[in-house]
Amino acid sequence: MKSRTVIYVRWKLTGRIEHFTNLGKLYDKYKNDELGVSRHTLNKRDLYSMFQNESVEILKSVIF
């Protein structure tokens, strides 16, 4: 069975949810200042356990 990963971004202020196929796509659309976190920091984190700050929640998940 083939699986893929998806990155979910939930904006805390509005509750809007977006999804991206990888961090590159996320950072093509948003900059560090908008997300409140650098790409380097997210690369080092286990996003399967969720990253959150005052602006966003970011979660990586496997889909089948």
Number of residues that this document lists for the chain: 64
Residue for token digits 């409140």? 36
Cα–Cα distance for residue pair 28/2, rounded to 1 Å: 26
pLDDT of residue 3: 82
pLDDT of residue 23: 95
Instruction: Note down pLDDT in tens along the chain; length 64 residues.
Output: 788 999 999 999 999 999 999 999 999 999 999 999 999 999 999 999 999 999 999 999 999 8
pLDDT of residue 58: 97
Domain count along the chain: 1
Quote the domain boundaries for residue 8.
4-63
Neighbours of 47 (CB within 10 A): 16
Q: H helices of the chain, where?
A: 23-29, 32-35, 39-44
pTM to 2 decimal places: 0.90
